[in-house]
Amino acid sequence: MTILSASMAQRFIDKMAQYMEYNINIMNENGTIIASRDESRIGNFHEVAYEMLHGESEQREVEEEKKFIGTKPGVNLVIEYKNKPVGVVGVTGDPGSVKAFAGLVKVSLEAMIEYEVYMEKKRTRRNKTEQFMYTLLFEENPDISLLENLAAEIELKKNLLAVAIIIKVNKSYDRLSMISAIRASKNCVNSDLITVASNDNIVILKAVEAKGNNDMFDYKYEIREFIEDFMSRMSDNFGESDFGFFIGSLQNKIGMYRHSYFHANEMLLHVKEKEGIHFFDCNIIDHFRSIVTMKEYSEIFNTYNDVFSTDDQQMIAETVEVLGRNNYNMVNSAKDLFMHRNTLVFRLNKIKNTLNIDPISNSADREFLNELAYYFRNK
């Protein structure tokens, strides 16, 4: 990008013109006047500015009219950005009278250049970020080399440990204010990339901050803290039931981040509860079940259709689902089923005796029963 553009220079002069009566000229690296209060001088060559930029002088005073090409009496100062000359600013008038003012103009212009460059980089990064996120998440066959180039341009770290988060907002909302709240939330870092999908779901590629070997251990805590702080910033118009957070798989390669998004989106489609926080890590079995067709389940479990009546199948499906949700805790499961613990024990004993399994103490038997119940529930 051009550090000192003609449009920026002219905007600066137009603003300064409101507070001073001196003429200001701004010259580019070629010594050409690109902005001036005196429009007739724009485009002219300024010999002193050219010599300053191609020599070592940071300040030159001109006392005689037309002694140098394109100049008038005044003070000329080099404009710098990051300690490198990018142009010259000249204030026309008696050098002794305008010298102090010229210094103020130089400092003000350098401050404006720094701000404009910062804002342009920010705009460019936002555009590149949107392009990166669109290519990564929504294109069918993304070009990995293009993604790597875009990642470099937005200064995304290589092998960054990250996870995709889909935020489903169950009511209309203002995109900018929502993204601002996300950006202000605890644990939100510069590496986090945010976009809004066409269905108005918010998608975040959330960096998991490196903390040595405890990255995997701490990340769920970090994500929950981030979400809770975000929720605390929402107005009273929003409640917990208005948000669903679906967190995909942890990934650490650019080409794999999209899989984290796919896993988050899969939960969004299949998890019954559309509010609350849902981690893919806690729903892996459901993921594998979604890959295996019911035809394959039927090929495995069809014999048991003759072993259990329709009512028994429904009972097994309901009972095992609740047991699984409560990690096979009998007391909590009985409460969720609105029955006495002894009734639940009777149900479970009936299953155990028929199949000769013990899902309470034997993990392999438990896995078998879980899948059988899933088959009864979904066939």
Q: Is the pTM of this model over 0.75?
A: no
In a 3-state reduction of DSSP, which class is residue 161? coil
Please write the tens of the pLDDT for every residue from 225-259.
999 999 999 888 898 889 999 999 999 998 899 99
Please write the tens of the pLDDT for every residue from 294-320.
999 999 999 999 999 999 999 999 999
Pairing label, strands 33-36, 59-62? unpaired
Assign domain 159-290 to a CATH class: alpha beta
User: For all residues of the chain together, what is the average pLDDT?
Assistant: 89
Pairing label, strands 243-247, 276-279? parallel
Please write the tens of the pLDDT for every residue from 166-212.
999 988 999 889 999 999 998 898 889 999 888 889 999 999 875 55
Q: Which fold has domain 6-114?
A: Beta-Lactamase (3.30.450)
33-42, 85-94, 131-140, 243-252: least confident range: 131-140
pLDDT > 70: percent of the chain: 96
> Is the Cβ–Cβ distance between 264 and 247 less than 8 Å?
yes
- Return the structure tokens found at 142: 């993304």
Average pLDDT for 255-279: 90
C-alpha–C-alpha distance, residues 351 and 348, integer Å:
5
Q: Which residue has the higher pLDDT, 116 or 93?
A: 93
Report the pLDDT value the prediction gives residue 216, as an integer from 0 to 100. Answer: 61
Average pLDDT for 278-307: 90
Please write the tens of the pLDDT for every residue from 315-370.
999 999 999 989 999 999 999 999 999 999 999 999 999 999 999 999 999 999 99
> How sure is the predictor about 269, in pLDDT bands with cuts at 50, 70 and 90?
confident
> How sure is the predictor about 141, in pLDDT bands with cuts at 50, 70 and 90?
confident
pLDDT > 90: percent of the chain: 59
Q: What φ, ψ does residue 210 adopt, rounded to 5°?
A: -70, 125
Residues of the chain within CATH 3.30.70 domain(s) are: 159-290
> Is the Cβ–Cβ distance between 291 and 262 less than 8 Å?
no
Residues of the chain within CATH 3.30.450.40 domain(s) are: 6-114
Report the pLDDT value the prediction gives residue 116, as an integer from 0 to 100. Answer: 83
